Structure 1
Amino acid sequence: MDEKKRDVLQPVDDTAKRLAKTLVRTARFAALATLDPLDGSPSVSRVSLATAMDGAPIFLISRLSGHSTNLLSDGRCSLLVGEPGKGDPLAHARMTLIGTARQIPAGDEQTSYRSRYLRRHPKAALYVDFPDFSFWRFDVARASLNGGFGKAYALTAADLSTSLAGSEALSDMEEGAVTHMNADHLAAIERYAAKIGEDAGNWRLATLDPEGLDLTSGDRVARLWFDAPLASAAELRPVLVALAKP
């Protein structure tokens, strides 16, 4: 890396990692850039996004789409996440993820992704099981985070990944825990949203992982980070109870 480039980049600290992970975890969609097999030209489309428990982006696409054809030919691609909001769009945080996408075959991994994706995008239930649709996982190689003017960072895959060590059982219990919370503890979920400064608004729990939980209310998505990552799945219930206290 030349010195001029190095001077532009800021040291990657915990704040930058948290911002980067939040951008991915709360993204409803992403711009997907693939390579056209005809001549290698870049092609950009939009996909609805969710995340695997370890933080990897996942998306659902039809094999009839151009970007599906491109990925089947060459899995190298990029995702751009981060919504502009009000004012100057360049003043808002965004991140380019660079890596490889792979199609997920039927099995436990696909079942987990399907569940997490539908809890983020319930309307996709209308077509998720159509034979031409399939789930893809994006494996991050590196990322370029722009947190606003003068806040550029070069991140590694490890900076964005959530360790599942010790909490592997969380995947097996997640759907039941989410269903239970949404059926019986909506008041607690509203308190979760309030703790991170969100207005009241029929919030529901969408997904869990060892580092936090994602909430949805219509098109709104919010992230609540745990004070410390879960050391085991057994810690989930006490943490949820503590977070629900006024």
Structure 2
Amino acid sequence: MKDQPSPLRETDDDARKLARVLLRSARHAAIAVLDPETGFPFASRVLVATDIDGTPVILVSQLSAHTRALARDPRASLLTGEPGKGDPLAYPRLTTQCVAEPVERSNAFYERIRTRFLARHTKAKLYIDFPDFLFFRLKPETASLNGGFGRAYQLDGKDLVIQSAANEEIAAGAAETVRDLIERYPDVEESLATRLKAPESGSWRICGIDLSGFDMISGDFLLRYEFETLAVDADHICSNISKIAYSIP
């Protein structure tokens, strides 16, 4: 009997970029954990943000079933990617297998994660500081990308995160970087929304930057843009963003 051809395509840069966009453009996701009582998979929905290196972050109540499950077994899968009109299976989606790491309030990077999360989920301010709520970083181990019919890829966790010594510096100055960019170019966010053909909504604003790209949000819409090459510092990020906003089509 002849060996069947593999359904997987060779993972290339386009696949890696699509996977990162699917993960970083998600405002919510389905999470699957292992029920500690039965061992059965347990699926739920969680709000998602990303840390400065692209690692997904969730905010959960310690009273929820999936939080109790993660406390016993940190393995989890996260499904991201939104369907549109027609066949839901024709749209790209990403399943990321992760190891959940709790983020204690005493951690040096807790405020960074809190700030980045609230930039996407402003309504979470109502409960984010409740004592029974906590963050988990979901460290990617492997990922399965389905880019649509006939486009399946297997990725390593490292394909989804930014490996750079400049991450901490960018995170510390992110708010100031965005503020300076808007002071220099007051209409930059409006221009970006137009150039990137963002869905018609209210006003768009930059809600996150990193060395690999930036995020914009308007109401329930979140848009992720990935740079062609990794930026090296804040000036490089601003230069990339201004070129995207104002370059001649």
- Give per-residue Cα distances to partners, 1:35-89, cap 9 Å, x unaligned: 1111211100000101111111001000011111111111111101011111100
CA distance in 2, matches of 1:160, 1:236: 19
What's the CA shift for 1:174? 0.6
What's the CA shift for 1:169? 1.1
1:61-80 matches, cutoff 5 A: 61-80=60-79
CA distance in 2, matches of 1:227, 1:42: 38
What's the CA shift for 1:19? 0.5
Q: Which runs of 5+ in 1 are unaligned?
A: none
Secondary structure in structure 2 of the residue aligned to 1:117: helix
1:53-64 matches, cutoff 5 A: 53-64=52-63
AA in 2 matched with 1:153: Y
Equivalent pair of 1:182/1:204 in contact (CA under 8 Å): no
Larger deviation, residues 178-187 vs 27-36: 178-187
Which residue is 2:18 aligned to?
19
CA distance in 1, matches of 2:237, 2:155: 29
Which residue is 1:108 aligned to?
108
Secondary structure in structure 2 of the residue aligned to 1:22: helix
AA in 2 matched with 1:240: I
- Give per-residue Cα distances to partners, 1:203-230, cap 9 Å, x unaligned: 0010001011000011111112223211
CA distance in 1, matches of 2:27, 2:180: 24
Which residue is 1:169 aligned to?
169
Q: Tell me the TM-score normalized by structure 1.
A: 0.92
Larger deviation, residues 200-209 vs 144-153: 200-209
AA in 2 matched with 1:175: A
CA distance in 2, matches of 1:120, 1:183: 22
- Give per-residue Cα distances to partners, 1:71-114, cap 9 Å, x unaligned: 11111111010111111000000111112111101232211110
Q: Which runs of 5+ in 2 are unaligned?
A: none
Secondary structure in structure 2 of the residue aligned to 1:27: coil
Number of aligned residue pairs: 243
What's the CA shift for 1:159? 1.2
Identity of aligned residues (%): 40
Q: Does 1:232 find its partner at 2:240?
A: no
CA distance in 2, matches of 1:238, 1:68: 41
Q: 1:137 to 1:212 in 2, by over 3 A?
A: same
Equivalent pair of 1:186/1:203 in contact (CA under 8 Å): no
CA distance in 2, matches of 1:27, 1:179: 24
AA in 1 matched with 2:22: L
Which residue is 1:142 aligned to?
142
CA distance in 1, matches of 2:156, 2:197: 30
Equivalent pair of 1:168/1:233 in contact (CA under 8 Å): no
Equivalent pair of 1:32/1:45 in contact (CA under 8 Å): yes
Q: 1:28 to 1:66 in 2, by over 3 A?
A: same
CA distance in 1, matches of 2:125, 2:184: 23
CA distance in 1, matches of 2:198, 2:27: 17
- Give per-residue Cα distances to partners, 1:3-22, cap 9 Å, x unaligned: 54x61000001110010000
Equivalent pair of 2:182/2:188 in contact (CA under 8 Å): no
Q: 1:182 to 1:245 in 2, by over 3 A?
A: closer
CA distance in 1, matches of 2:83, 2:46: 17
Equivalent pair of 1:54/1:162 in contact (CA under 8 Å): yes
Which residue is 1:153 aligned to?
153
CA distance in 1, matches of 2:91, 2:242: 34
Secondary structure in structure 1 of the residue aligned to 2:215: strand
Which residue is 2:220 aligned to?
219
